[in-house]
Structure 1
């Protein structure tokens, strides 16, 4: 009965419902960063809409059975935004919501990078960039070999796409015809310490993925009406979603500012951000 209720709720979610949940997740993420005195709030804000759409609309998952064999797989390759995933998992019922207060505290299982041995709903440990997509390719290939029906999703950062391991994985996914794999690139145009264009600018991504044999969809990654159809899209080849997002999305003084990659708001900034995120709830 519980599974039926979960599936019904997930299927009935409309864009405005998802937008409300995303705002709640952003607000709790902000509070947790401020409480912990650490985090990667800029990238967490840019990725929240994608995480919300996945966990509250698209993914076939069962929070009370986090290892259900038929579950879809999601890999957070940009593991430094683990807090956004923790808040999403808590809101979806995988872990207690009050546990978010323990983020980064001694003996907490909510570390700065997700750990699949400690946190229900986390599929694999991530942190070193360029690891998540190769693991996701393995998951998708395993499903093909076993005849399993689950779909694998993986979220990377655009700066992370500078890692050569990602392009080896992209080539392999095309070679093996992994049409059960969706890569989402959080294209917020900034990485730690610099804009993407000032480091190793691989954008535009779409033409490169097409050249590797992938299907590609470009969307506004902070717009639910575009996110959900892209995530639900199925093609004959591996699918990449280039999600154009804003670093620090939803908080005026953080948006598109490279210094908010892992900066923590002071008391005055916290109150401003709190007010901005709360006024739309």
Structure 2
């Protein structure tokens, strides 16, 4: 996909997210909107995956460590054909496989996540296995910034550098808000880039809602031989919906009918503008 196509796809993913959460009357809205560009870039341009063979040995691995923001991932997996798109309507309903966190009973999900701080350690193991097996696949792990307060993240970071895992990519959805407010008020993280560099990672800081920047950065990996890469994806929580952006309340706010109509209208206009530019 070209950049405009990816931007349009991300807008559609955001619309899916809002519809899913509205129908289910539950979900994590803000983070799913902020990470939509990241998962779109990975699944439509960067990662080696095959929806027809989701367990292919040479597939790239993706772990959504910030598992509560799963709605965007469900939408992407359905759109890529890992399961029928009609199943999105069952999100968080009784008996569904599409629960509020990644569920490895669903094709395309590598591991159940939700307990923050666990994803990177597993990604380290996957990347290390690839190295030792002489395999060419990569491991990508998307973390939240509030998640950086978990000690297990830093244990995994130390291991990733120790084993020279340049096939490992950590991405932080740095939207600066968590469930109880600003990350810097809840548990100060800065200087976050310096900390990751001190742990031996190659750190690249970008606008995580800029599709061109995401593609340029991800396609350049590994940009430092023998080092894992940490992408500091500076994003806007609630991205794409003007009245939700940078509003802590939208962490898990369920839109009402009026809010949904306004939000879908904004995103539809965004989608149409990208389509016009691509003609």
TM-score band, normalised by shorter chain: over 0.9
**In the TM superposition, what are the counterparts of 1:132-147 in structure 2 within 5 Å?**
132-147=119-134
The answer to whether structure 1 residue 36 and structure 2 residue 59 are counterparts is no
8 Å contact kept, 2:180–2:186 = no
Q: Which runs of 5+ in 1 are unaligned?
A: 1-12
Shift of 1:204: 2.9
Aligned residues: 268
In structure 1, C-alpha distance between the alignment counterparts of 2:114 and 2:20, rounded to whole Å: 19
Which residue matches 1:245?
235
Query: What TM-score comes out, normalization by structure 1 length?
Result: 0.94
The answer to whether structure 1 residue 68 and structure 2 residue 56 are counterparts is yes
Q: Secondary structure at the match of 1:60?
A: coil
Q: Secondary structure at the match of 2:156?
A: helix
Query: What TM-score comes out, normalization by structure 2 length?
Result: 0.95
Shift of 1:207: 0.8
In structure 1, C-alpha distance between the alignment counterparts of 2:145 and 2:68, rounded to whole Å: 13
In structure 2, C-alpha distance between the alignment counterparts of 1:204 and 1:57, rounded to whole Å: 31
Which residue matches 1:112?
100
**In the TM superposition, what are the counterparts of 1:1-281 in structure 2 within 5 Å?**
13-116=1-104, 118-232=105-219, 233-234=221-222, 235-236=224-225, 237-281=227-271
Which residue matches 1:4?
none
Q: Which runs of 5+ in 2 are unaligned?
A: 272-279
Shift of 1:203: 2.4
Q: Secondary structure at the match of 2:35?
A: helix
**Please, what is the CA RMSD of the aligned residues?**
0.7
User: 1:16-51 CA deviation, whole Å, 9 max, x = no partner?
Assistant: 110010001000111111010011010000000000
List 4+ stretches of structure 1 deviating above 4 A: none
In structure 2, C-alpha distance between the alignment counterparts of 1:216 and 1:166, rounded to whole Å: 15
